């Protein structure tokens, strides 16, 4: 008679097995949570329409699972963020926003398919599946035209409101970093920013541009082995390590001079310039470099289209449209420069290509030499017969 062990008995047990268990990290603002997120955590978020940049950061941090106390996808606009997580075998559960406060940092939880055990509480949840992502994505695609019309209206409305502000120069701040007649590389935390920055190594090595990190873009520079000269922004998504790296700091302030990010700088015992400017921190970085008479502006991870802006909670791009009109003659995206410098780099693939080219040229010359000899031989024979 065979003996059943405990693992065999579990097959016949009616008690469901947990899908996931572990320690949690909790954050209502995803980019703030990501600043110092330990690997292997179950993260609890409040992130409506999970965007691709946040999804990639969660993947890079090797999170175990995501519990979202918001709609992971609302169907308002298309996004591949949730699908990116699912493709990496990172499960997503959705819970009601009202239960977010029940989750405490560093608590241990156990997650089943339809509920979460948190100490002595049981919280209802539902698994976000690929089928749900596909349904929401199709729904969003059907609304694209209507969404675009609203986005254009919003963009033009705010562009009309801010057009006089963009014509005025920024308030003068005495930064020590010299930008005049220099290439300036501005790194923002946008889609594909890490990959694009890695592709720009040859350009950075040869030109040695001034490096400006916009908030979390400063951390991307450090990760790639570069020390930013300037860090600008609201100072919400950049790490303490980056802020303390020795870069010159410029805090983005509202038009009235209020700068919420300055309190964090003060808490770290650092000093910073305060620069009032309309629009986004990325807009401010572009205007600052432009007005400091840089020669060329190169952007990495810059927002370029409607979905980029919607994912950042902006229903239009009025300020960015105006700023790009103002600085446009000097503005280049890193993808253009990356292609140029990649083609100039001496890589293994380039060596192979050259070898094959020379081989086929030699082969062609050999064939041509053989053909000429054959023709000469035929001509000689015909002449002899004549």
Residues 113 and 233 in one domain: no
Residues 220 and 334 in one domain: yes
Element (H, E) at 118: strand 115-118
Q: Distance between CA atoms of 280 and 304, rounded to whole angstroms?
A: 13
Residues 246 and 310 in one domain: yes
Residues 290 and 181 in one domain: yes
Residue 348 lies in a domain: no
Please give the structure tokens belonging to residue 75.
Answer: 């169907």
Q: Distance between CA atoms of 295 and 178, rounded to whole angstroms?
A: 12
Domain that holds residue 258: 144-342
Torsion from C-alpha of 348, 354, 357, 362, nearest 10 degrees: -120
Residues 208 and 165 in one domain: yes
Out of 139, 156, 177, a domain closes at 139
Residues 120 and 158 in one domain: no
pLDDT of residue 336: 74
pLDDT of residue 340: 60
Please give the structure tokens belonging to residue 95.
Answer: 């819970």
- Counting every residue written for the chain, the total comes to 386
Residues 164 and 206 in one domain: yes
Torsion from C-alpha of 373, 374, 376, 378, nearest 10 degrees: 160
Residues 132 and 175 in one domain: no
Out of 90, 106, 139, a domain closes at 139
Residues 104 and 247 in one domain: no
Kindly report the pTM of this predicted structure. 0.76
Residues 176 and 281 in one domain: yes
pLDDT of residue 347: 44
pLDDT means per 10 residues in the chain (386 residues)? Answer: 42 70 94 90 96 93 96 93 97 96 94 91 95 95 87 85 87 94 93 86 93 95 95 93 96 90 95 93 94 93 78 76 86 74 48 45 52 52 54
Measured between alpha carbons, how far is residue 368 from residues 14, 364, 373, 379 in Å?
80, 6, 9, 16
Please give the structure tokens belonging to residue 49.
Answer: 């329409």
Number of domains in the chain: 2
Residue 328 lies in a domain: yes
């Amino acid at each position: 008679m065979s003996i059943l062990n405990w693992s065999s008995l579990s097959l016949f047990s009616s008690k469901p097995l947990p899908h996931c268990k572990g320690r949690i990290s909790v954050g209502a603002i995803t980019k703030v949570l990501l600043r110092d997120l330990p690997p292997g955590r179950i993260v609890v978020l409040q992130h409506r329409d999970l965007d691709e940049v946040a999804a990639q950061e969660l993947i890079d941090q090797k999170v175990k699972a995501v519990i979202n106390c918001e709609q992971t996808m609302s169907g308002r606009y298309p996004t591949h963020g949730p699908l990116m997580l699912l493709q990496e075998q990172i499960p997503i559960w959705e819970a009601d926003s009202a239960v977010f406060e029940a989750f405490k940092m560093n608590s241990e939880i156990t997650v089943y398919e339809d509920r979460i055990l948190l100490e002595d509480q049981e919280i209802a949840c539902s698994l976000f599946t690929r089928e749900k992502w596909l349904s929401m994505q199709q729904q969003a695609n059907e609304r694209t035209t209507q969404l675009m019309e609203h986005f254009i209206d919003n963009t033009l409305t705010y562009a009309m409101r801010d057009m006089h502000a963009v014509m005025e120069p920024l308030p003068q701040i005495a930064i020590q970093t010299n930008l005049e007649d220099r290439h300036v590389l501005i790194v923002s935390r946008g889609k594909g920013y890490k990959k694009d920055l890695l592709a720009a190594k040859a350009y950075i090595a040869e030109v040695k541009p001034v490096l400006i990190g916009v908030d979390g873009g400063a951390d991307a520079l450090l990760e790639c082995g570069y020390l930013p000269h300037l860090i600008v922004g609201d100072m919400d998504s950049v790490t303490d390590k980056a802020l303390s790296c020795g870069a010159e700091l410029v805090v983005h302030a509202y038009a009235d001079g209020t700068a919420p990010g300055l309190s964090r700088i003060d808490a770290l015992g650092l000093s910073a310039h305060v620069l009032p400017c309309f629009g986004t921190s990325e807009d401010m970085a572009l205007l600052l470099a432009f007005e400091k008479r840089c020669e060329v502006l190169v952007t990495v991870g810059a927002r370029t289209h409607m979905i980029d802006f919607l994912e950042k909670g902006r229903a239009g791009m009025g300020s960015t449209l105006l700023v790009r009109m103002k600085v446009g003659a000097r503005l280049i995206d890193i993808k253009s420069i990356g292609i140029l410098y990649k083609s100039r780099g001496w890589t293994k693939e380039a060596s192979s290509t050259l070898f094959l080219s020379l081989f086929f040229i030699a082969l062609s010359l050999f064939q041509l030499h053989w053909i000429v000899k054959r023709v000469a031989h035929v001509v000689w024979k015909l002449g002899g017969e004549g």
